[in-house]
Structure 1
Amino acid sequence: MSQQTTIRKLAELVNTPVEKLLEQLAEAGMSFSGPDQVVTSMEKVKLLGFLKRSHGKTEAAADEVIAPGKITLNRSRKQEITVGGSGKAGRGAASTIDVVVRKKVTLSKPGSTPAPTAAEEQDAERAEILRKLEESRQRNLTEQQRLAEGDRKRAEELAERKRAEEEEAERARIEATAAAEAAVIEEAGKPKAGHHGHAHHPKPAAPRGDDKAAAAHKGKVQRGSHAMVAGVEDDDNAQRFAGQLHLSASERARRTTSVRGKARPQKRGQDQSRTGTGFNKPTAPIVREIAIGDAITVSDLAQKLALKGGDVVKALFKMGVMATITQTIDHDTAVLVTEELGHKAVHADAGDAESELLAHVEQVQGDQQQRPPVVTIMGHVDHGKTSLLDYIRRTKVASGEAGGITQHIGAYHVDTPKGTISFLDTPGHAAFTHMRQRGAKLTDIVILVVAADDGVMPQTVEAIQHAKSAKVPLIVAINKIDKSDADPLRVKNELLSHDVVAEDFGGDTQMVELSARTGQGVDDLLDAISLQAEVLDLKAVFEGRASGVVIESALDKGRGPVATVLVQQGTLNKGDYLVCGIQYGRVRALFDETGSQVAQAGPSIPVQVLGLSGVPEAGDDFVVVADERLAKDVAQQRDAKRRELRLVASAGNRMEDIMAQMGEGAAQQTLNLVVKADVHGSMQALREALTGLSNEQIRINVIGSGVGGITESDAQLAATSKATVIGFNVRADASARKVIENNGVDLRYFSIIYDVIDQVKQVASNVLGKEIREEIIGTAEVRDVFRSSKFGAVAGCMVIEGVVKRSKPIRVLRDNTVIFEGELESLRRFKENVDEVRVNTECGIGVKAYNDVKPGDQIECFERIEVQRTL
């Protein structure tokens, strides 16, 4: 036994009193003190031998019993076997069978009878399992046969019931038809008035089925109230539709089939053209017509082609284009891969929003009236463009420009004695070529200003080319004739080489000699403009929704996105909904060039618009629409399309391009820049000018650009990409300055584009030299403004950073944007003139030639220092 056996348990097993068992143990020579002591196996064997000897058996017989020649053991093993059915619920479902294998194992001593071998034991076990499986299979087959027989009987009963119902309905309909025909015949057989002598023939009764069969054997068939010759119709089932003369043979055949019952369903596998889903397999390849826009992602194209994305990627790879399933490919590549896969590609039309907008614009029609001309002033740097415009406007705009150079397009409309004229003042620097192109495209007349003492310069030639490409008439204003070294004839001769022939030389170009400083010849220029406008016969529709072009755009901290637009058709009113490129909004306010609010603006009038959802790009068209919904839909659709086109540039790199880049190696260095400007046009011009400086040794990469002050996100971008931050007429806020100082980012402020390009060009050209840096030495905040008869507006300030020195140049900042650059006229501490004022000290500052200082402005004092360049 596995557990220890006491004397008490042994007495219970052998059914003997404990006292008697203790006596027998004592007689056998084993003394125990109590019934709870343990009896070992040897002691049990010894007691058994003593008892056998005491009953007269010999020792040999006892040994034979004690040590038998063989031992038989009973073993059982239980297994679970799953027998699968047809898989359908409730019919032949899978079942689990418990198989118990019982076997006897006989162990014998050597020399005794041999025990069964392992192979015989396995055969017995296998036979038992096969027997159990056969019994389970027989039970499953019996159950399936019983279920199938039940389904068959139910289907037959249902078909029989349906057939009986259809026959009953058909019999009722035939009887109704026969009754209707009998009524018609009876009505027709009645005698009319005046015919009393005719006998009335009774209507024959409708024959029964036996009568019809007898008539058919005789050669005629009685149908309803008519007798017809048998065999006239070629339908064997004509008897069933007696009286239905209006049915065709095919219709009767269809109804006969439905009456006789449905056809037996075909077994699976008989019709090879059917699939498991019940659809017919296509007998030929399906050619789909795929609508593809300007750009499409690989996953969307695969969905339209009803293919896996991997198949389209594989086809692109065979064509030499490496693109993932999430990348965007252009229209041409999508068309090629679609045709390669055996389908037809068509160009997707514009969305419903664009179509609706186009219909919206075409509806604006009306009477055309004379409109003011739009005049663009072009020319080389410092040839007097802005000075000429200032004389016409009687203002001093040029004094507010950095270095006397126009940095962005200025738009004005002026009421002159010759009528209203709209002027566009474009920059003359080479970096603003695209800005001049925009000015030439939306203008009617171009005035080319050429200095009489300087002659034709490179930007003069560019202005001539822009005017010719835009097919705009040209008027040459030869400026600075009041100077002693002026030579107008030399200017005319130099213009001849560029196909600009003066009227004096027999050409068609008006040339006016004038002086913007003294005003000499300005009236002649206005006469020339009016004459050219009359020749052009400029007209526009004043009534209806407005449309036009964005001249310039910026982000104002207090007013939000501000766009300067030029109205070309219709009238722009306050409260109109308009869509402008990818931006939309409602016109909250309109401002003219003087900053005054206006209620509306007609054709050829430039105004500032407030209320857009974002800063539009310069050159975008704007259209006024009926409601905000259409404007929002068009803007979102354009934004999505522009984003897709932008992704195309980085999506599908060709293998030959990658191999070419690998061949170049890592010799080319990269200079990362983050450019922020005050207006969108300047930012775009700076971006294009800087990227154009790239060469084989160094690549200028503008990783970020925008309009407005330098924010914390711009500083973080520059810190992570190790880029230089360029601020053009903008400044960094406090949080951005903290990030820049902590990460050691190179931050440079500029107000003249010459300095930006020159410094970047020095680095790109790897030329060492001295550079002029502007270092801010102090900032004062305007707390109040006082009026003085001697100095004009005097700003009461508190120096918040550094030192303000009287001998240094200053800039006036409003909302971190430069609004004026000049010098100090006076610096006072109480009533005494001082040379410098330190931090946390109050002072009075008078700005020379500027009286528009307001509380909250910041006066920035800086100095220009020369620093040795190190790369």
Structure 2
Amino acid sequence: MAFYRVCYHTPKIISNCIKLSSCLNHSNNRTKCISTIYGKSQYHTSQTFWKRRKTVEERKSSRIIEYTPKAKAKVIDVWRNITVAELAQVLDRDVKYVCDLFLNQVSGGRTVISDQALLHEAVKRSGHRMRVVANPNDVVEEEVDRDIYPRPPPTKSQLKPRPPVVTVMGHVDHGKTTLLDALRNTKVVASEFGGITQHIGAFSVELKSGAKITFLDTPGHAAFTAMRERGANITDIVVLVVAADDGVMEQTVESIRMARQARVPILVAINKIDAPRANVEETKQMLVNNGIQVESLGGDVQAVPISALKRRNLDQLTEALVLQAELLEVGADPIGPVEAVVVESRLHPQRGRLCTIVVQRGTLKKGDVIVADTSLCRVRSIKDHDGKQLTEVKPGYPAEVEGWKDLPSAGEVVLQVDSEKTARNVIKARESKKQLAKQEEDAIAISSKEEQHDREYKEKLMHKRRMGRFRLRSQGPRGKEIIDDDDGTPRINLIIKADVDGTLEALLNTLDSYEEPDCVMDLVHYGVGAVTESDIEMAKSFNGIIYAFNSDCPPKCKDLADQNSVPIKHHNVIYKLVDDVKEEINDRLPPISYEEVIGEATVLQQFDINEGRKKVPVAGSRCIKGVLKRSAKFKLVRNEETLFDGPLSSMRHLKNEVDSIKKDLDCGLQLQDKDLEFKPGDTIVCYENKSKRQETSWDPGF
């Protein structure tokens, strides 16, 4: 049944009432309508309405549109700036009908309907509901990739000569940094903690011949594998330092492997030829056995015997480097946007975030805007390894850049953009890509978790059905599963702060190798720079330990840590930090109980003695090893089977009750189990329960 709103007034008022008919109120199963105009109400039947309707049509040309109840209305899709012709197509009616819906306020099929309220009223008059959607006729433009990428390789005509980038690699304590000190007349090795290099150093050296070479000093320690890999991937030549007294070691083999993966030529420097146990020929043979074909043994790899400490044969090594660089014809394009690689990054307390980079293409100048991963930098200052200010950095040279908004990770590619706005767009695009990649990884993890949950749920459900009305023991009231987060397993929470990003990465990789179930290790937080108040608050919340590796702790933070009993441990050698973490783990592990045998006796014969009306067996024994103590525990062993384990009731020597029996003395032993019989040849073992400190089996490789 359709309902209408009418009144006895002038035709103009009647027409307005028809336009306002969308606010009609009605009740089900009634044919009467109510309308309130100017405070007056009138009730009419539908027949009376149709009589009055004729008079209205005669006096004014108007259409009265029927309204379907909203619950039965069909939903149609419309869009912004829809035309009359498009709306007619959606409604499957003609254009004239649509114009009537708008009460002749629009005309023509090309008329654009921009008023959403007017469109909504017209659709309601048609007896439909509308849903605003995107225009299906619009062409969806593909999303523009705002990320930037390195330029295509330069042509041969664009290449200009540049200093070769030489990476010094090898095993720990084989003299790599001593060699570089000899080449640049410095004493870096004296300032290194523990005698090992724990950072990647980048610096330029001018040889006596006038040739310039950029050297990268990579750590030889096992924990710095990732740092050495980055050193091999941005270099032109690898100088493999091998000690003549040690020969080829573990990290030497790794360095050879990484250099081959990077397809970089190798030049061998056999160091420590003045050592007492030096054997150059044996070292060369070890190199051949590991795939390095030295020239003196028929290969093509130069092997120069040197003594970095006494500066012997260094001229031969540098000449070999210059010759190798000339053969490679190393060059770069100094024009255009800068392309570089982050060698190391650190947080300076006064200068802020600093990065050591090696320029590979273009010329870096002060004021340039560069991007490394999601880190932005407007170059504020450029310095060399000696702290001297530079105006520009050409390809092949290292520099320390200041002005980073965030600290980039070592190994990231640095690219130049035209403005900070472009840099922010690039960072936003890269963050979106990372987020999408993370969502895909999370979706896979969630799917796997759901499958596992469904499998466990079905297993529990089947078990519950088999159990009938009995609940599972692992369930609480009303079948709710009991979840206990604290299972009693020892736990250690760590906060790691390091001086530079590369060292932090090495520490994290070392700690990631911990997989022991006896004690849970959680890395609560890590970062580059000095210890902050937030680190202390976090350590207090998690009952954790702060390890500051080569980083400072301001006095204010130290006082705050003392007030909150938060331990802060300072280290500057990685294996000492690992040893400290091991000690902390050992302190949290429960002690191990074990049995210490203190004596042993053999049964010679069984005697029966009277205790009241009952006869009790006594083992007539002889102590054959150690001492038998009355207060200790005893085991009765027969044919390698333990028949009794517990304390004694009596220990006698001759007729006297004693506390101990020494070796080769006879005695009578009465066990608490008085029903147990002895046989000649049985063994009685005397032991004590003791405990010792448990130690973790974690071995990080050094």
| TM-score for the superposition, normalised by structure 2 | 0.62
The answer as to whether partners of 2:586 and 2:694 remain within 8 angstroms in 1 is no
Q: Does 1:276 align with 2:128?
A: yes
> C-alpha displacement at 1:743, in angstroms?
2.8
Q: Which residue of 2 aligns with 1:745?
A: 566
> C-alpha displacement at 1:367, in angstroms?
1.9
Cα 1:696–1:468, aligned 2, differ >3 Å: closer, same or farther?
farther
Q: Report 1:450-599 matches (<5 A).
A: 450-599=242-391
Q: Which residue of 2 aligns with 1:372?
A: 163
Q: Does 1:732 align with 2:525?
A: no
Runs (5+) with no aligned partner, structure 1: 1-82, 97-129, 160-259, 267-273, 292-347, 770-867
> C-alpha displacement at 1:717, in angstroms?
1.4
SS class of match (1:353): coil
**1:790-832 deviations in Å (ceiling 9; x for gaps):** xxxxxxxxxxxxxxxxxxxxxxxxxxxxxxxxxxxxxxxxxxx
2:523 to 696, 702, 715: 702
Q: Does 1:690 align with 2:511?
A: yes
Partner Cα separation in structure 1 for residue 31 and residue 434 of structure 2: 76
Partner Cα separation in structure 2 for residue 487 and residue 131 of structure 1: 115
Cα 1:631–1:518, aligned 2, differ >3 Å: closer, same or farther?
same
Q: Which residue of 1 aligns with 2:543?
A: 722
Q: Which residue of 2 aligns with 1:672?
A: 493
Q: Which residue of 1 aligns with 2:208?
A: 417
The answer as to whether partners of 2:491 and 2:588 remain within 8 angstroms in 1 is no
What is the letter of the counterpart of residue 527 of structure 2? G
Q: Does 1:139 align with 2:139?
A: no
SS class of match (1:700): strand
Partner Cα separation in structure 1 for residue 588 and residue 171 of structure 2: 28
Cα 1:667–1:869, aligned 2, differ >3 Å: closer, same or farther?
closer
The answer as to whether partners of 2:490 and 2:588 remain within 8 angstroms in 1 is no
Partner Cα separation in structure 2 for residue 362 and residue 764 of structure 1: 52
Cα 1:91–1:673, aligned 2, differ >3 Å: closer, same or farther?
closer
The answer as to whether partners of 1:693 and 1:761 remain within 8 angstroms in 2 is no
Cα 1:768–1:702, aligned 2, differ >3 Å: closer, same or farther?
closer
> C-alpha displacement at 1:697, in angstroms?
3.2
Q: Does 1:395 align with 2:186?
A: yes
Cα 1:457–1:765, aligned 2, differ >3 Å: closer, same or farther?
farther
Partner Cα separation in structure 2 for residue 706 and residue 91 of structure 1: 64
Cα 1:263–1:396, aligned 2, differ >3 Å: closer, same or farther?
closer
**What is the aligned length?**
486
What is the letter of the counterpart of residue 422 of structure 1? T
What is the letter of the counterpart of residue 403 of structure 1? G
> C-alpha displacement at 1:86, in angstroms?
5.4
The answer as to whether partners of 1:554 and 1:615 remain within 8 angstroms in 2 is yes
> C-alpha displacement at 1:639, in angstroms?
3.3
> C-alpha displacement at 1:705, in angstroms?
1.0
Partner Cα separation in structure 2 for residue 389 and residue 563 of structure 1: 21
| TM-score for the superposition, normalised by structure 1 | 0.50
SS class of match (2:309): coil
**1:554-599 deviations in Å (ceiling 9; x for gaps):** 1112111111010001111111111122111211110001100011
> C-alpha displacement at 1:704, in angstroms?
1.0
Partner Cα separation in structure 2 for residue 619 and residue 487 of structure 1: 37
Q: Report 1:81-100 matches (<5 A).
A: 89-90=20-21, 93-94=24-25
SS class of match (1:562): strand
**1:753-802 deviations in Å (ceiling 9; x for gaps):** 01112232455578999xxxxxxxxxxxxxxxxxxxxxxxxxxxxxxxxx
Q: Which residue of 1 aligns with 2:673?
A: none
Cα 1:491–1:137, aligned 2, differ >3 Å: closer, same or farther?
same
Partner Cα separation in structure 1 for residue 303 and residue 419 of structure 2: 48
Q: Report 1:265-344 matches (<5 A).
A: 276-277=128-129
Q: Report 1:346-357 matches (<5 A).
A: 351-354=144-147, 357=148
> C-alpha displacement at 1:715, in angstroms?
1.1
Moved more, 480-489 or 628-637: 628-637
> C-alpha displacement at 1:523, in angstroms?
1.0
Q: Does 1:406 align with 2:183?
A: no
What is the letter of the counterpart of residue 413 of structure 2? D
Q: Which residue of 2 aligns with 1:339?
A: none
What is the letter of the counterpart of residue 44 of structure 2? R
Partner Cα separation in structure 1 for residue 62 and residue 33 of structure 2: 36
Q: Which residue of 2 aligns with 1:438?
A: 230
Q: Which residue of 1 aligns with 2:668?
A: none
The answer as to whether partners of 1:84 and 1:94 remain within 8 angstroms in 2 is no
**1:479-506 deviations in Å (ceiling 9; x for gaps):** 0001121011121122222211211111
Runs (5+) with no aligned partner, structure 2: 6-17, 35-40, 65-94, 102-125, 458-482, 591-692, 697-702
Partner Cα separation in structure 2 for residue 580 and residue 279 of structure 1: 45
Partner Cα separation in structure 2 for residue 734 and residue 280 of structure 1: 63
- Which one has a larger percent helix, Structure 1 or Structure 2? 1
> C-alpha displacement at 1:695, in angstroms?
2.7
> C-alpha displacement at 1:450, in angstroms?
0.9
What is the letter of the counterpart of residue 224 of structure 2? F
SS class of match (2:44): helix
Q: Which residue of 1 aligns with 2:109?
A: none
SS class of match (2:146): helix
Q: Which residue of 2 aligns with 1:635?
A: 427
The answer as to whether partners of 1:91 and 1:147 remain within 8 angstroms in 2 is no
Partner Cα separation in structure 2 for residue 750 and residue 615 of structure 1: 23
> C-alpha displacement at 1:650, in angstroms?
5.6
Partner Cα separation in structure 2 for residue 761 and residue 729 of structure 1: 19
Cα 1:744–1:133, aligned 2, differ >3 Å: closer, same or farther?
same
Cα 1:627–1:689, aligned 2, differ >3 Å: closer, same or farther?
same
Q: Which has the higher contact order (CA 8 A, sep 6+)?
A: 2
SS class of match (2:128): coil
Partner Cα separation in structure 1 for residue 534 and residue 55 of structure 2: 77
The answer as to whether partners of 2:345 and 2:408 remain within 8 angstroms in 1 is yes
Partner Cα separation in structure 2 for residue 506 and residue 514 of structure 1: 20
> C-alpha displacement at 1:474, in angstroms?
1.0
Q: Report 1:138-177 matches (<5 A).
A: 139-141=44-46, 144-145=49-50, 148-149=53-54, 152-153=57-58, 156=61
Partner Cα separation in structure 1 for residue 588 and residue 281 of structure 2: 41
Q: Which has the larger radius of gyration?
A: 1
Q: Which residue of 1 aligns with 2:600?
A: none
> C-alpha displacement at 1:469, in angstroms?
1.1
Cα 1:495–1:761, aligned 2, differ >3 Å: closer, same or farther?
farther
Cα 1:140–1:631, aligned 2, differ >3 Å: closer, same or farther?
same
The answer as to whether partners of 1:551 and 1:566 remain within 8 angstroms in 2 is yes
Cα 1:279–1:514, aligned 2, differ >3 Å: closer, same or farther?
closer
Partner Cα separation in structure 2 for residue 91 and residue 498 of structure 1: 90
> C-alpha displacement at 1:424, in angstroms?
0.3
> C-alpha displacement at 1:454, in angstroms?
1.1
